[in-house]
Amino acid sequence: MTKEKTDLLQGTLDMLILKALQLEPMHGFGISVRIRQISDEVLQVEQGSLYPALYRLEDQGWIKSEWGTSDNNRKAKFYSLTASGRRQLESETANWAKLSAAINLVLKGARGAASPKL
Amino acid sequence: MRIWPKLKALLSREQLEADMTDELRAHLEMQEAANRAAGMSAEEARYAARRQFGGVDQIKEQARDQRGWVWLEQLWKDFLLAGRTLRKNRGFSAVAIVTLAIGIGATASLFSVINGLLRDPLPYPDAGRLTTVRRHDVNAAIDYMPLTTSDVLDLQERAKSFADIGAFSVRRFNLGGEHAEAVEGALCTAGLFRALGVPPLYGRWFTPDDEAGDQTAAVILSHELWKQHFNSDPSVIGRTVRLDGRNHTIVGVMPEGFTVLSLWMRTRSLGLWSLLSLRRGEGDWNGYWLGSIARLKPGVTSSQASEEVRTIARQLVETDPNRDSHKTFWSIPLAIDLGGLPALRISALLAAGWTLLVLAAQNVAGMMLARGIGRQPEMAVRLALGARRGHILRLVLMESLLLSLLASIGGFLLTLWGQSALTRLLPADVMPRAGLHIDTSLLGSIAVLTLISMQMAGFTPAMLASRTDVVSSIKEGGASSGPARKMQRKLRNLLVGQIAVALILVAVALQLSSTYRGMLGSSRALISDSILTAAVAVKGPAYQTDEARVAFWKRLLDNCATLPGVRETAMASKLPLDGGMSSTVLIDDQAFSPGISYPWIEQSFVSSGFFPAIGARLIQGCWFTPADENRRAQVVVINRTMAGRYWPGQDPIGRHIRPAQADQGWSREVVGVIEDVRQFAERPAQPEMYFPFTDFAVPESFLVVRMAAGLPAPVEAIRQELGRIDGDLALAGVRTLGALFQSQGRVLTVVTSVVDVLTVAIVALAALGLYGTLSFHFARRRRDIGVRLALGAAPRDIVRLVFKQAAVWVIVGLGLGAAFAWAVSSVLRRMLEDASPFNVPGVALGAGVIFIVALLAAWLPARRAMRVNPVEALRAE
């Protein structure tokens, strides 16, 4: 049961993490589960990327962390969005929308232009 | 990038590490729980979690990189590692640090003297706007020429750059009283005080009215003279004081610490200032006799002023081409004028210090390079284990940084010691008046020197290490692979270069030191403690004519000659090593041409007893005699240098000398040639003419008394004789020629001895560096030697092999060095007037020492290698 993995674009992981944290504070494991679920099991975040990304985001001040207790009473570190993190998420979402729309246009156009030759 | 989290990360590293471990463990446990919930067994769930998670330590490492100042942490680790490496190689580190520290200390302490001289604060308000105007004549013996009376008047009339310009001339005055006393003071114009801008404590400055007034004799007293002679009485203003037998009115008293500073009076202060009224055509017999100080108008820069005075000189020459056709004016800030020449006088020391530093850095570089080659296998292993090349570069640079850091601390301490040593050693006239201290510019210079030495010592080895070729270095043990061979070549070139540079430095140092020694030696020839000298200023209403002054001197000389113990008495217009009076002449039937610039010839006016009194040897012809003086025979005696310059290979006796001027002046016949008597302590003998004092009895002259050996000079008796002849005249500056030499030759003596010490240090450093690099190189050939021994080579063969290689390098290096040294020496001879010739035996000796050191450096490690069991040597690699 191997799922097809999609390589994440540089920077998109940061956006996905911010998005996962938009609703509620979450710990690292929760974030990886959440991303997998939302993406319908397509996007699998490697722990090797997740934790460096979390530290990076914290370093930049977009998320903050504190120790708390998980659902099953385990001690875990919970990450939550800061105000600047929210702004970052908004701008990245807007950028992403623009970028993906543009890429879609390019891909469609390319197909249309190529068809007469076929 | 926010600073605070990074700082926190740096400071609470352990806390963060623990947090990270906890967090990752929690993640694993959650994964495990999730797996169990999905139906796995406990053990299966744990392994699956591990598998899914990946390498915990890799993740940690990647996570760490995202946080805090990782590079700073790594730098700290590199620093500790570099410290450990240096500690492990104690001998190497100690030699490198001490070597660099000496270079830095010597250079920095000498720099602090020169910097102090050029930045000496002047005791005047807004002193930065004070400049001085000097003249420059092509061929002048003195670069810092004073001005003539008309120069000053021309400048006063034409120059627009100056708010005020004043002129002065330092003099000896006879201050009248119960006993006349000699006081050093200056004649100065009213403009001088306005330019300096220091208000008087009592009374006033000189005014233009004083200057214009007919026979006004006004004087301003220094605070010290006022205290000593007038009991600090404020009511002295308006009182009369007798100077040189004439009444002067005291118009002012200056505040404590005030003096008029000039190049030759940087550290002495004057007692009084007497008004000088300059009139065209009057008093120009003194020629170039006036110093000047001017205050720039607001908004005018020093270079604008200099440009203006140059233009003025050009205009003057154009309007009157017959006069002074080669003069030009230049103006420089007073502070630079006062500090520049003393700084120049000791600049040889700074040059020697620099040489020492460069050599030290080169030594350390050689040693580090040799060590770097030795460390190639180590670097290769580091690279193979995943170290980045940048990291290796950083590590090696960190070592040299640490070395230079320690060296700069040592250098700083040495600088402190050097400053106090120099303060004791160097005479006051080449020291900053404000003394030496630690300031930001000194610390800055130490930092710069450290950086330079680090750059020189560390960079090549670092590049070398970072370029290590992993595979071949590990495989071949670094000895014979291609890239390693390239580095060997580099080391060989470095060694050859080091040998060459060592020889060049030895040659230059020897040449400098023998040059200075020669100067010292030729000055010392006349130095004697049984020759007493004293200044007498024969001035006043009674001495307006040459005849009056000549009569005075004849009486004084005759009276003193009868005193017990006196062998010879004489009068001279100047003393040996105390020169600076010169004129231009024509010889034989040479015709005057205004377009030609004639060289300046030193001149003295002396009584016939002068030559025997100072013990100068007659080379040719005869002295002039008292009879010549009486009938005013038109004769002159010249020195050997002048005879050689004007009548090379010819007999100068009977030839003639005339002044270099348009109208026919006097003419004198050369009757004798005497050996050179130096006019300046730090310059070779100049051409000189000695005229009978009956030609011109210079008012401020010197009494010279030769005593019978071992007898003290009867100074009191001489003073009484003088008082009997004229109670208004005083004896000043009484000292022996030996003492005169002590003070005038002090700088030269110190420079010579310091250069000697530095020469020894340079040679020692060169030998040390050579030994360090060479011995390291041959120590690395242990394996090679082991193989040869194992294959049956006899120790004799090994010795021959090692010597052959070392000898080839040394001979190539020495050959190159000798060629360059010879070239440098001829450049030096062109720069330094009386530089000694290329010192062949000295350089040969230096080359011999270098050769022996080099062979020793090759042989000692080779012998050690031969002693070990070949098997062990092979295994050791």
How many domains does the structure of chain B reveal?
Answer: 4
> What would the 3-class secondary structure string for B291-314 be?
EEEEEECCCCCHHHHHHHHHHHHH
B604 and B572 in contact (C-beta within 8 Å)? Answer: yes
In terms of C-beta density within 10 A (0-12 exposed, 13-18 middle, 19 or more buried), how is residue B166 classed? Answer: buried
Residue A37 CB coordination number (10 Å): 11
Domain boundary among B26, B46, B68: B68
Tokens of B102: 């000496």
* H/E segment holding residue B43: helix B42-53
Looking at this protein, which amino acid is placed at residue B265? M
pTM above 0.80? no
Render B205-252 in DSSP notation, one character per residue.
---HHHHHSSS--EEEE-HHHHHHHHTT-GGGTT-EEEETTEEEEEEE
- The rounded distance, in Å, linking the Cα atoms of B391 and B174 is 78
- The rounded distance, in Å, linking the Cα atoms of B762 and B208 is 60
Is residue B624 a part of any domain in this protein?
yes
Please tell me the distance in Å from A72's CA to the nearest CA on chain B: 9
> What would the 3-class secondary structure string for A52-112 be?
HHHHHHHHHCCEEEEEEECCCCCEEEEEEECHHHHHHHHHHHHHHHHHHHHHHHHHHHHHH
Interface residue of A55, A79, A82 to substitute, partner B, most B CBs within 10 Å: A55
B771 and B851 belong to one structural domain: yes
Domain boundary among B292, B325, B358: B325
Is residue B267 a part of any domain in this protein?
yes
B763 and B821 belong to one structural domain: yes
Helix (H, G, I), strand (E, B) or coil at B654: coil
Per-residue pLDDT in tens (0 to 9) along chain A, 118 residues = 334 444 556 578 888 888 888 888 888 888 888 888 888 888 777 777 888 888 888 888 888 888 888 777 778 888 988 998 899 889 888 888 888 888 888 888 755 444 444 3
CB contact under 8 A, B63 and A61: no
| Nearest one of B255, B149, B139, B850 to B505, comparing CA atoms | B850
ipTM score above 0.95? no
- The rounded distance, in Å, linking the Cα atoms of B236 and B248 is 12
Is residue B737 a part of any domain in this protein?
no
Structural domain harbouring B842 = 348-523+747-876
Tokens of B582: 């010169």
Residues of B in contact with A75 (CB under 8 A): 22, 26
Please tell me the distance in Å from B383's CA to the nearest CA on chain A: 24
B590 and B650 belong to one structural domain: yes
B624 and B563 belong to one structural domain: yes
CB contact under 8 A, B26 and A74: yes
Select from B26, B53, B66 the Cβ nearest to the Cβ of A75.
B26
CB contact under 8 A, B30 and A70: yes
B594 and B672 belong to one structural domain: yes
Residues of B in contact with A26 (CB under 8 A): none
Looking at residue B359, its pLDDT comes to: 77
* B257-B262-B263-B267 Cα dihedral, nearest 10 degrees: -20
Please tell me the distance in Å from B66's CA to the nearest CA on chain A: 5
- The rounded distance, in Å, linking the Cα atoms of B69 and B12 is 12
Is residue B77 a part of any domain in this protein?
no
B554 and B669 belong to one structural domain: yes
| Nearest one of B392, B375, B418 to B114, comparing CA atoms | B418
B819 and B779 belong to one structural domain: yes
Annotated domain spans of chain A: 12-112
B223 and B159 belong to one structural domain: yes
Chain A residues 29-68 within an 8 A CB cutoff of chain B = 29, 33, 46-48, 51-56, 58-61
Select from B22, B53, B63 the Cβ nearest to the Cβ of A55.
B63
CB contact under 8 A, B5 and A46: no
Is residue A76 less than 8 Å (CB to CB) from chain B? Answer: yes
Is residue B91 a part of any domain in this protein?
no
Across chain B, which distance is largest between two alpha carbons, in Å?
139
B477 and B356 belong to one structural domain: yes
B353 and B317 belong to one structural domain: no
Is residue B171 a part of any domain in this protein?
yes
Interface residue of B30, B31, B56, B70 to substitute, partner A, most A CBs within 10 Å: B30
Low-confidence ranges of chain B (pLDDT < 50): 1, 477-481, 877
Looking at residue A73, its pLDDT comes to: 77
Fold (topology level) of A12-112 = Arc Repressor Mutant, subunit A (1.10.10)
Looking at residue A4, its pLDDT comes to: 43
Residues of A in contact with B8 (CB under 8 A): none
Looking at residue B69, its pLDDT comes to: 61
Find, in chain B, the residue whose alpha carbon is nearest to that of A31.
B27
Looking at residue A3, its pLDDT comes to: 40
Looking at residue B1, its pLDDT comes to: 47
Helix ranges restricted to H, B546-668 = 546-561, 610-614, 626-630, 640-646
B189 and B218 belong to one structural domain: yes
Please tell me the distance in Å from A89's CA to the nearest CA on chain B: 18
The radius of gyration of chain A's CA atoms, rounded to the nearest angstrom, is 18
Side-chain-facing half-sphere of B824: CA atoms under 13 Å: 20
Looking at this protein, which amino acid is placed at residue A85? G
Phi-psi region of B623 (alpha: psi -120 to 50; beta: other; left: phi over 0): beta
Interface residue of B25, B27, B67 to substitute, partner A, most A CBs within 10 Å: B27
Is residue B630 a part of any domain in this protein?
yes
CB contact under 8 A, A47 and B54: yes
CB contact under 8 A, A51 and B62: yes
B270 and B235 belong to one structural domain: yes
- Measured between its terminal Cα atoms, the distance across chain B in Å is 48
Beta bridge partners of B171: B185
Looking at residue B324, its pLDDT comes to: 65
